[in-house]
Structure formats: structure tokens, C-alpha cells
């Protein structure tokens, strides 16, 4: 496998995670739990009350997003 393919996979995983987080976390300032699309474990996320920025994390596979 070339390095480029690994990067593509990482971006794909990231986007998958972001999509589920975005669909789950609707209300600002509230902590949401959702099933991680990458490992199936429990992930959690929250949307900032002030600026609406999204933060989500899966402790199991260490996927983390910050918008």
C-alpha cells in the first residue's frame, strides 16, 4: 500500500465520523453519545453554545474532530 492510499483512508474515516457526528449533534451545549462509525464503540460530542463549533471524540479509536 502506498502512503497516498493510507492518507485517503484517513480522510475517508474522518469524513465518515464527521457526518455521523453532524447528524447526531443538533442542539448546542448538549453532550451527545453516538455509535462510532469506525469502530462501533461509543463516541461523544458537543456543539459549542457560543459559536456552534463541533467537537467530537471516540476514546476507543482516538478519532477526534474539531470544527
What is the contact surface with Zn ion in residues (CB under 5 A)? 36, 38-39, 41, 58, 60-61
Spatial distance between the Cα atoms of 59 and 67, rounded to a whole number of angstroms: 18
| Per-residue DSSP letter, 38 | T
Residue number with CB closer to Zn ion (27 or 41): 41
Residue number with CB closer to Zn ion (28 or 61): 61
Q: How far is the CB of 50 from Zn ion (least distance, A)?
A: 27
How many other CB atoms sit within 10 Å of the CB of residue 20? 18
Specify the length of the chain in residues: 67
Q: How far is the CB of 38 from Zn ion (least distance, A)?
A: 5
Amino acid at each position: 500500500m502506498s502512503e497516498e492510499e493510507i492518507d485517503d483512508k484517513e480522510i475517508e474515516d474522518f469524513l465518515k465520523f464527521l457526518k455521523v457526528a453532524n447528524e447526531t449533534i443538533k442542539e448546542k451545549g448538549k453532550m451527545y453519545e453516538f455509535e462510532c462509525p469506525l469502530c462501533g464503540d461509543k463516541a461523544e460530542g458537543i456543539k459549542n453554545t457560543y459559536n456552534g463549533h463541533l467537537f467530537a471524540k471516540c476514546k476507543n479509536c482516538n478519532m477526534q474532530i474539531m470544527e
